[in-house]
């Protein structure tokens, strides 16, 4: 008997980023767009980072004949714009997005929250606000996946909210088949200031090709980026596949399964 092929179908993933371009690889799976920066109603991405993240997570590969397919091409996307065209944002807008998710999670079947961004706040009090925010989502049954940040490789360089002890924190490793490619060690490293071992898992994060707005690449529908931002949606996509097969799995069970099988 043929085994079912899981694509993450039906799983809603909230992506907090710079927005999303209505790329052909997303077909009709952008189920909602919420803009906390300029409050526009139509999906857009004036930076390109959010579209890249979404493509790694859920792109169908339609524009590349399947070559650049995302990890979970069947899940649907909840795009929340919390960063401006320079990739900057503030914690107030991020916290508003968290509350929006809690209010709309059932409507859009949101199971996963992907946060491919990290704060540069240096004070513990400023970081704690974001950490408490993601832990509230986690406690409400949402699987939160956050980037470790690109401030490594020195110890204690995990960005908030990735330094939360509860959520799944993703670092990146550099890999290239070509020997002439110079690789950099940028991934945030633990332990956290609370002596928690982080990141929880690592994934490819160097020279990742994914979707982009064509106006950012002179017409090309794909671009290449590196960093823990690219590693994070790979893991979120893997979790979407897992939850499509085991829909009753809790965030804690998901984290244990992910770590034990890595």
Can 139 be counted among the known catalytic residues?
A: no
Distance CA 6, CA 57 (A): 14
Can 49 be counted among the known catalytic residues?
A: yes
Of 46, 47, 20, which Cα lies nearest the Cα of 34?
20
Of 210, 261, 211, which Cα lies nearest the Cα of 239?
261
Q: Which of 49, 164, 172, 226 is catalytic?
A: 49
**Residue 18 · residue 49 · CB < 8 Å:** yes
CB atoms within 10 A of CB 201: 21
**Residue 204 · residue 172 · CB < 8 Å:** yes
Distance CA 80, CA 20 (A): 8
Report residue 246 as tokens: 């085991």
Q: Which of 17, 45, 93, 200 is catalytic?
A: 17
Q: How far apart are the first and last CA of the chain?
A: 28
Q: Which of 164, 229, 231, 244 is catalytic?
A: 229
Can 229 be counted among the known catalytic residues?
A: yes
Report residue 70 as tokens: 């995302």
What are the residue numbers of the active site? 17, 49, 229
């Amino acid at each position: 008997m043929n085994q079912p092929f899981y694509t993450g179908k039906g799983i809603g993933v909230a992506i907090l980023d710079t927005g999303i371009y209505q790329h052909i690889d997303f077909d009709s799976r952008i189920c909602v767009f919420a803009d906390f920066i300029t409050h526009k109603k139509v999906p857009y991405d004036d930076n390109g980072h959010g579209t890249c993240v979404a493509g790694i997570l859920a792109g169908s590969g339609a524009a590349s004949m399947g070559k650049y397919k995302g990890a979970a091409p069947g899940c649907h996307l909840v795009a929340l714009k919390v960063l401006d065209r320079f990739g900057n944002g503030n914690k107030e807008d991020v916290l508003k997005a968290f509350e929006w998710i809690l209010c709309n999670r059932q409507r859009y079947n949101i199971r996963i929250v992907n946060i491919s961004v990290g704060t540069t706040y240096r004070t513990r009090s400023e970081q704690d606000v974001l950490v408490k925010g993601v832990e509230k989502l986690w406690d409400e049954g949402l699987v939160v996946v956050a980037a470790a940040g690109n401030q490594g490789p020195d110890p204690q360089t995990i960005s908030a909210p990735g330094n939360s002890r509860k959520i799944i924190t993703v670092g990146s490793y550099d890999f290239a088949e070509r020997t002439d490619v110079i690789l950099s060690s940028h991934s945030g490293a633990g332990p956290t200031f609370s002596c928690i071992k982080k990141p929880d898992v690592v994934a490819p994060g160097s020279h990742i090709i994914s979707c982009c707005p064509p106006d950012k690449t002179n017409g090309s529908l794909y671009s290449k980026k590196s960093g823990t931002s690219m590693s994070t949606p790979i893991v979120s996509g893997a979790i979407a596949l897992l939850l499509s097969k085991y829909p009753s799995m809790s965030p804690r069970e998901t984290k244990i399964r992910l770590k034990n099988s890595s």
